[in-house]
Amino acid sequence: MATENLTTSVTLNNGIKMPRLGFGVWKAAPADAQQAVKEAIEAGYVLLDTAKQYGNEEGVGRGIKAGLAETGRTRESLFITSKVFNGDQGYQSTLDNFSGTLDRLQLDYLDLYLIHWPVTGKYKETWKALEKLYAEKKVRAIGVSNFDRATLEDFLPTVEVTPAVDQMEFNPQFQQAELVPYLKEKGIYLEAWSPLGGGKSLNEPVIKKIAAAKNKTTAQIILRWEFQKGIIAIPKSIHRERIDSNKAIFDFELTTEEMNLLDQLDTGKRTGPWLQNFDWYDPQTGDPDLVQTWD
């Protein structure tokens, strides 16, 4: 087995290297995010993922600053992702609000900037803004999040820069059977949010049996499975022991049989939230975030 660690990367379609295992902060309060990001940097993580929508960019920024100071690492040692807030979407609005994300994160640039959700009537012009930020080298790579195949088929013919990443739910229970081969065909990497199925996959008997045989946790088995499948994963935790545990996947491999057993767990059913209606604007007031339907 070749040497693998938290710096092990994929090469995106623009030549930029992106780590294959990272750290997410969805649902983490700002203070928790600050402490967790600091500890993640101390633990050696490179890929860090946040979003304005999470309300914790300032905490993440403080955590980055503290973690770098504590470890002596440089900004360039990190790969930092954030996402366009749904209420900010649109060409000029995205450009106007991008500097706020940098300010909150205390950064001069992002490694990856994503459209968080495909807001109806907005995501194509939002993408034009991301292409401008990319051309101006304010972001090293650009991508999307929560774009299913139907949305991508509408979107991709209109772009000048092909997204480098599509961040989607992916875990043993929901394996994106239709989307994965499509993304591969288009040269777009799948990045998994909810890679542990919101915790629902951790008690799966098949995974528990493999974990016991290998003296590993069920989370480690799942993350190793995703790693071997070529999926980028960003598990979230605010507990130092789990931050450390989630990275301990590089000293073992799953056999072909074990990989197949996890492949067979796909139910095709989501374990996390999914917006069925992407119209984030009330037609009367123009206010964002009023029209939402969760599956």
* CB proximity list for 217: less than 8 A, separation 6 or greater: 211, 245
Catalytic residue among 54, 113, 123, 281: 54
> How many other CB atoms sit within 10 Å of the CB of residue 85?
23
* 108 DSSP assignment: S
Alpha-carbon distance of 88 to 100, in angstroms, equals: 11
- Listing DSSP states for 50-75 in one string gives --GGGT-HHHHHHHHHHHHHHH---G
Told to judge if 113 belongs to the known catalytic residues of this protein, a careful annotator would answer: no
CA-wise closest residue to 106 among 158, 153, 48, 148:
48
Whether 220 contacts 211, CB under 8 Å: yes
Alpha-carbon distance of 225 to 263, in angstroms, equals: 9
Active site (catalytic) residues: 54
